[in-house]
Structure 1
């Protein structure tokens, strides 16, 4: 059962009051610190994460290049009745240093051996996926930034809730101790 708290009064923990306990002042500082860390930490983590993701995707767009490759075997037919957009098949392409490379890439179904296809490679000539466009990169960076910000902000928030719960239990224990001292004085005594 939650304790009755009465009407909400802003900044009550910092106002002068003879009934204000040390735990009230401590809770005030805990709340202030937790909210500052939650907001500041979440925003900073979100912005840094989004910037990092967007920079990495921009670097991929700048470094990864389309290369013409040749099918070294016939591409298979799609296994399902609906038909797949792309199927895996073996391809050969030339790396930036001129050496021939072999690998598997997604190609049109039922393509014949010797067909030219476009694949994407990194600076060392390894196969990679097509890099994200600028708008896709912005969306990914935004989503990662939001997720990182929420995760980082949750840490001080949850920690603050735990600390406030312990302070509340301690306050209730102090009330019980005080009542044990004062309660017997209020009992009716038969003279």
Structure 2
């Protein structure tokens, strides 16, 4: 029988197989890599929600480093590393006797942990906390080298680095790999304590 005279059921089977092939290609690891490599545009303002999502490859006004470059800065003690990973805040209305335990945070050794300063909007208290924290670790020097990070695909560090530049700090580096990228490279981490 010629291909032009196939029974309708056979043609439907071929169409179904072609559709299945397209689905399998779309689900393949290569297709996922292509989707993951789609460039994320750099916004003009701060990221305001969905903070754990792919980030841009750039931050206007800041240097962006990979893990090897971040490690060199750390190893040479050429910058202060600022971890901005958020921290759950103990609710003020917990019933008496409730035990509250902070989640353990491991970060780059020697880092200063300034939690919750990477949100898109900071209230007056958090804004003041961030300004005081930066002034303390830089001894008031606006040209002090600072490296901001949190985790991979975390907008908190992008926002915090951008905000530090708006505060007038001029030597800002953003490390988008964060503690995840650091750990994946087999580099040491230590248990962090937040600056109060």
Report TM bin, short chain: under 0.3
Which TM-score applies when normalising by structure 2? 0.27
Which TM-score applies when normalising by structure 1? 0.27
Say which structure is richer in helix.
1
Say which structure is richer in strand.
1
